[in-house]
Structure 1
Amino acid sequence: MQKKAKMVIDKEFTVAEIDKRIYGSFIEHLGRAVYDGLYQPGNPLSDEDGFRKDVIELVKELDVPIIRYPGGNFVSNFDWQDSVGPVDKRPKRLELAWRSMETNEVGLNEFSKWTNKVNSEMMMAVNLGTKGIEEACNLLEYCNYEGGTKYSNMRIAHGYKEPHKVKVWCLGNEMDGDWQLGHKTMDEYGRIAEETGKAMKLIDPSIELVACGSSNREMPTFPQWEATTLDYAYEHIDYLSLHQYYGNEANDTADFLAKSDDMEDFIKSVIATCDYIKAKKRSKKKINLSFDEWNVWYHSRSVEFDTVQNHPWQIAPPILEDIYNFEDALLVGLMLIVFMKNADRVKIGCLAQLVNVIAPIMTDQNGGAAWKQTIYYPFLHASKYGRGTVLMPIINTPVHDTLQHENISDIESITVLNEEKGEVTIFAVNRNLEDDIELTTDIRGLEGYKLAEHIVLENSDFKAYNSAGEQVVSPKTVERSKIDKGYMTSVLNKATWNVIRMVKL
């Protein structure tokens, strides 16, 4: 007997308006992300500025509204002044986070130009590891002040008369981690975040500041790190960051796909901590979340370790180049659903990263083709169709247990209403690996809509992956949904990512 699930969607069951910045990404000066990824002068595929046109088009297709830069661990030893001014006068530096050689050919102004080419905005991180308050303020002045001061005049002299107007700024990166240059205790970080935020907002009160939360949920200081940081900096920041990566080291697909539930628990815990400090301070201000590093990451760790430890000081070595498979795409889709579910508090998200380094877009080495990894597709669908108001569905679904998780829902789903475009989109993953499920959705609360299409990403091989030569895993349109008298019946095949779109009559 086929398994069945039921769902109710109604325009009155709203969560929040989605902030489009949850579909952001991340570029770090790491591996081949910048050099050989974004930037490859001399390649016939590159434009007059040396940026790869094929990569630009793939990023534009994803419609990424904000991109965090320049790190990541890289930022904690970064001197921003090395990256501006005449390129031929910029110094090469030993980059200590990934033990590579940084040429500084691409710097702050070049990256700003690239973000404009891909219709995005820059989310800048400041160095609170080996630098501090003064350098953060100088960088902000360089980027955002119109002119007439030391650093704004420096920008103008470098050929950029108009300020970059960077809106979102990260106060360091993963400062709780002992791997981070300038690693700090909770109290040390809370104090410098407070004082840096206070000073930066004196220069530009319009900016939004992101304080470092825990580097992951498993950190021994979580969630006390969040509470202590907020105790100091609450009134001077706007967001608290979360970072989390997942892997399938145990080769247990069912348990791997349950890890999106861990991500939701992480978000709920951080929200609770933010609101505890709000209550403690009797504050009227609400701190929202910036989940500014997230992805699947585990395939390439041994290569990364060998390169960093045994073959240091290379220029743009190929490290962290995970080749993603079909089950990775399913988990990425599930994680995107978690963001949408929590759109009332998660306002920024950065898929880490964007090109070549744990990325949806890859370029073959030595100037080869650019291509789409499996995880490109759920991110594309969410970014393209997940704009509007989140409607929280009421779902009755079968459940299953995995090795490390209990009562895992077979069907995970969220709905987005875009009234401006007259569209409703249901995102759904069937994470049951054995059974197709018939989902009956009560859409009487969405009167006046018809079925437009049912898109699915599926493959019988969980380990199937794409390459420059072949897109083994790619979406297709199927005839598995139908509407009759206010109810929609959809067949969600086992282990599938589904995008069901309705449009106004």
Structure 2
Amino acid sequence: MSVRIEGDAGRVIGPVPRRLFGSFVEHMGRSVYTGLYEPGHATSDERGFRGDVLELVRELGPTVLRYPGGNFVSAHRWEDGVGPDRPVRLDPAWHSVESNRFGLHEFAAWAEAAGAEVMYAVNLGTRGIQEAADVLEYCNHAGGTELSDRRRANGAEEPFGFKLWCLGNEMDGPWQVGHKTADEYGRLAAETARVLRMIDPDVELVVAGSSNAGMPTFGEWERTVLRHTAGLVDHISLHAYYQELHGDTESYLASAAALDTYIATAAGIIDELGLANEVGISVDEWNVWDQRRWNAVDQARLAEGGWREHPRIIEDDYTVTDAVVVGSLLSSLLRNVDRVTMANQAQLVNVIAPIRTEPGGPAWRQTTFHPFRLVASLARGVSLRLDVEGERLRTAQYGEVDLVDVAATLEESGRGAVFLTNRATATPTEIHLRLRGARFAVYGAETLTIPGGATRHAVNTAAAQPVRPVPLPGAAVTSDPGGTTITVTLPPLSWSVLRVSPHA
């Protein structure tokens, strides 16, 4: 099978925002406790931060970290996680007990150690305008008020200076504590936004859009909420999770096509309201997640185990197939940089995460770690518009999609990267990539595919990590005055990256 890809160095979709490579930390399961934070672990510092996890996070390269939720935030009292006296609370969202040993100050210090910007979410479920104003003043005001001086007394002399603020979480969802109609939420979000801007005019605000494209309110929710908040917010969120259902591997591998459509529909609504130059799209929760396991196993475990601290929930073991889909979802984000202003893969450690740990034991890279790391490190400059012709893949859910999913980025220096997903499960695919307007050389090629002797269900564990990028041989390059042609054969069920540089 073969596919032709045509591009031009001058056909630019838009700049690649560094915030596109964000992640997410929620007080859920073992994301924080025995994930980021485990006092007494052999690698932990005096603050209880696991050094092995921090090392992997720095390697992964997330640029923004959304915190503290997620569903957790809609019943969270931020004051519980600051100061010396911290109450133990029930967390209704995840049927667990929250000790509050790790809170706002700890996360600010942890994010600084990880080299990432904080995106802070406020509770608009059980709380509202005053509490949001209070936590902003606590975090960002220099001093001289009760709240800012309390922060200083709690050990942070300088303001945290958080710029990104989420106005609640998934308020369209009936599962959400404090669930609201679009009008109820839109009005509350607008009034909260007004006060936050009075306190700190430099904040960027994210209003909650739809929890998924299948919500019956999708579309009308966005229209209603944006009518209330127009001129007050900078971004609207979308949340998107994908999974393989009923053995339909082809549709699962085409998940990026669904994300493309989801983003395009939301962008169309923004345009319809005349807000194209004011409101960006924040895909601040996205990932692959087997929700059947959540429904069948994790919820039963929570109910049977009663109320306890940091239970093991949604700790998916990611396969080769999952990693290939994650790679293609990253390509979708790159193809939509003209509308997507930031994105956060959910979550960072243990909970549907690229990094896993064991209490007292090791931390390791899941299969999905690798495409995120490579895209976050290589996708810089601008994203290029590409045309794909050739073999197509028939899917039950999305109709025909490109057999090879592709995105490419180019820096001013002439260095760039091409990201390629071969959705064919049994056969290799030869690609012929024509890049007009520049002469390139390929200086590196890697692929993530099924390891020898394994199946597409291969996973990484604490004991062994067989799924990782390996060299992709055989890239042939020909250049002429009009541009460059790259020919390479992609293994079946693979995600690959070609690194290119200016041809001498």
TM over 0.5: yes
The one-letter code matched in structure 2 to 1:430 is N
The alignment partner of 2:178 has SS state of coil
Task: Give the deviation of 1:402 after TM superposition.
Answer: 1.9
Task: Give the deviation of 1:404 after TM superposition.
Answer: 2.3
Task: Give the deviation of 1:493 after TM superposition.
Answer: 1.8
The whole-number CA distance in structure 1 between the counterparts of 2:496 and 2:43 is 34
Q: Moved runs in structure 1, 4+ residues, more than 4 A?
A: none
The one-letter code matched in structure 2 to 1:455 is E
Correspondence for 2:300: 306
Task: Give the deviation of 1:285 after TM superposition.
Answer: 4.1
For structure 2, the 5+ residue unaligned runs are: none
The alignment partner of 2:230 has SS state of helix
The one-letter code matched in structure 2 to 1:52 is R
The whole-number CA distance in structure 2 between the counterparts of 1:461 and 1:415 is 29
The alignment partner of 1:11 has SS state of strand
8 A Cα contact 2:270 2:276, kept in partner: no
The alignment partner of 2:273 has SS state of helix
**RMSD over aligned Cα, in angstroms?**
1.2
Correspondence for 1:164: 160
The one-letter code matched in structure 1 to 2:164 is V
Task: Give the deviation of 1:9 after TM superposition.
Answer: 2.4
Correspondence for 1:173: 169
The one-letter code matched in structure 2 to 1:41 is P
Structure 1 residue corresponding to 2:31, chosen from 30, 33, 55: 33
The whole-number CA distance in structure 1 between the counterparts of 2:315 and 2:130 is 35
Task: Give the deviation of 1:327 after TM superposition.
Answer: 0.6
Task: Give the deviation of 1:112 after TM superposition.
Answer: 0.3
Aligned pair 1:343/2:342, yes or no?
no
Aligned pair 1:245/2:237, yes or no?
no
The one-letter code matched in structure 2 to 1:233 is T
Correspondence for 1:63: 61
Comparing 257-266 and 185-194, the one that deviates more: 257-266
Aligned pair 1:297/2:275, yes or no?
no
Gap change, CA 1:437 and 1:124, over 3 Å in 2: same
The whole-number CA distance in structure 1 between the counterparts of 2:255 and 2:9 is 29
Structure 2 residue corresponding to 1:397, chosen from 377, 386, 390: 390
8 A Cα contact 1:275 1:286, kept in partner: no
Alignment of 1:85-164 (within 5 A): 85-86=83-84, 89-164=85-160
The alignment partner of 2:489 has SS state of strand
Correspondence for 2:404: 411
The one-letter code matched in structure 1 to 2:324 is L
8 A Cα contact 2:383 2:409, kept in partner: yes
Aligned pair 1:425/2:405, yes or no?
no
Identity %: 41
The alignment partner of 2:399 has SS state of coil
Correspondence for 2:379: 386
8 A Cα contact 1:9 1:446, kept in partner: no
The alignment partner of 2:301 has SS state of helix
8 A Cα contact 1:235 1:285, kept in partner: no
The whole-number CA distance in structure 2 between the counterparts of 1:433 and 1:356 is 28
The whole-number CA distance in structure 2 between the counterparts of 1:326 and 1:441 is 25
8 A Cα contact 2:258 2:398, kept in partner: no
The alignment partner of 2:462 has SS state of coil
Correspondence for 1:328: 322
Alignment of 1:446-457 (within 5 A): 446-447=438-439, 449-457=440-448
8 A Cα contact 1:175 1:184, kept in partner: yes
CA deviation profile, 1:318-359 (whole Å, cap 9, x unmatched):
111011111111111111000000001111111000000000
Gap change, CA 1:284 and 1:311, over 3 Å in 2: closer
CA deviation profile, 1:49-106 (whole Å, cap 9, x unmatched):
11000100100011111000000000000000000011xx110001110011100000
The one-letter code matched in structure 2 to 1:294 is W
Task: Give the deviation of 1:310 after TM superposition.
Answer: 2.6
Correspondence for 1:229: 225
The whole-number CA distance in structure 2 between the counterparts of 1:464 and 1:270 is 35
CA deviation profile, 1:257-295 (whole Å, cap 9, x unmatched):
1122111111011001111112xxxx6842100000011
Structure 2 residue corresponding to 1:219, chosen from 215, 225, 233: 215
Comparing 296-305 and 37-46, the one that deviates more: 296-305
Correspondence for 2:476: 482
Task: Give the deviation of 1:376 after TM superposition.
Answer: 0.5
TM-score under structure 1 length normalisation = 0.96
The one-letter code matched in structure 1 to 2:209 is G
Aligned pair 1:358/2:352, yes or no?
yes
The whole-number CA distance in structure 2 between the counterparts of 1:29 and 1:307 is 18
Aligned pair 1:317/2:315, yes or no?
no
